[in-house]
Amino acid sequence: MTGRVEPSMMRQHLRMYLVLGSIDCPVDPTHVVQEALAGGATMIQFREKGDDALVGEPMIHLARRIQHQCHQAGVPYIVNDDVELALKLNADGVHIGQDDECAADVRKRIGNRILGVSAHTVEEAERAIRHGADYIGIGPIYPTRSKDDARAVQGTDILRILRDSGIDLPMVGIGGITAERVEEVLCAGADGVAVISAVTRAESAREAVETIAGASERFFLRK
């Protein structure tokens, strides 16, 4: 990468953003990734979390396999929380929450790689921007079962509040998003949707991604 990702490119990457780790997947996560990439996933985040999550070498091995799949497909590969891992793998970016390392410090460590920051309020979003975020993740928009320590459900109103406050940074909604809800999330101001279970627990991850990506494409064609 020669410089920071352009906002217009970032918005494209956020269209159908798959987030996953081994505990989110009833089958081999690399199978889910393969199907999701075939269905048109636009970015993938490795988020290996939870009581039974992989650690150590098995975790790094899975992280590398998914990175390889993303690389083959030409899709950016983002690592959740673990800046060390992202640097070790030379991932395309990092996503951090409000309880993780300070975004400004992460920006310094990762250079021009993509930096995503979760935000729940206008203040958090503005700080993330000052600290060098390339996009903000907003949620949970709807109830979710995929995050134990999720904050209160925000609804799509939070997306409108952020946009109305003048925040223009690429923004992705997350939490309980299904194909039926894509339009509502995008209408409220998101550039894309980040999903776990709607894809990882679908009978066909490929079809799930195709349906979500299709809904998003239709929305932006009309805009």
Strands 114-119 and 93-96: parallel
Written as six digits, the tokens of 142 are 């709807």
Q: Would residue 47 show up in a list of annotated catalytic residues for this protein?
A: yes
Q: Would residue 147 show up in a list of annotated catalytic residues for this protein?
A: yes
User: Is residue 77 within 8 Å of residue 67, measured between CB atoms?
Assistant: yes
Nearer to ligand TZP, 44 or 196 (CB): 196
The minimum distance between CB 202 and ligand TZP, in angstroms, equals 11
Instruction: Give residues with Cβ within 8 angstroms of 156, minimum separation 6.
Output: 141, 173, 184, 185, 187, 188
- The Cα 159–Cα 213 span in angstroms is 20
Long-range CB contacts for residues 102-107, cutoff 8 Å, separation at least 24: 102/131, 103/127, 103/128, 103/131, 103/132, 103/133, 104/130, 104/131, 104/132, 107/131, 107/132, 107/133
Q: Is 97 in the site for Mg ion (CB under 5 A)?
A: yes
Nearer to Mg ion, 39 or 97 (CB): 97
Q: Is 82 in the site for Mg ion (CB under 5 A)?
A: no
Q: Is 124 in the site for Mg ion (CB under 5 A)?
A: no
The minimum distance between CB 197 and ligand TZP, in angstroms, equals 3
The minimum distance between CB 3 and ligand TZP, in angstroms, equals 28
Q: Would residue 118 show up in a list of annotated catalytic residues for this protein?
A: yes
Nearer to ligand TZP, 55 or 152 (CB): 152
Give the interface size with Mg ion as a residue count (CB under 5 A). 3
**Catalytic annotation, pick one of 118, 146, 197, 216:** 118
Q: How many residues does the chain have?
A: 223
Indicate which of Mg ion, ligand TZP, none lies near residue 67 (CB less than 5 to 8 Å, by partner kind).
none
Residue numbers at the binding site for ligand TZP (CB under 6 A): 19, 139-140, 144, 146-147, 150, 174-177, 195-198
**Catalytic annotation, pick one of 47, 113, 181, 206:** 47
The minimum distance between CB 80 and Mg ion, in angstroms, equals 6
> Of the candidates 143, 139, 86, which has an alpha carbon nearest to the alpha carbon of residue 115?
86
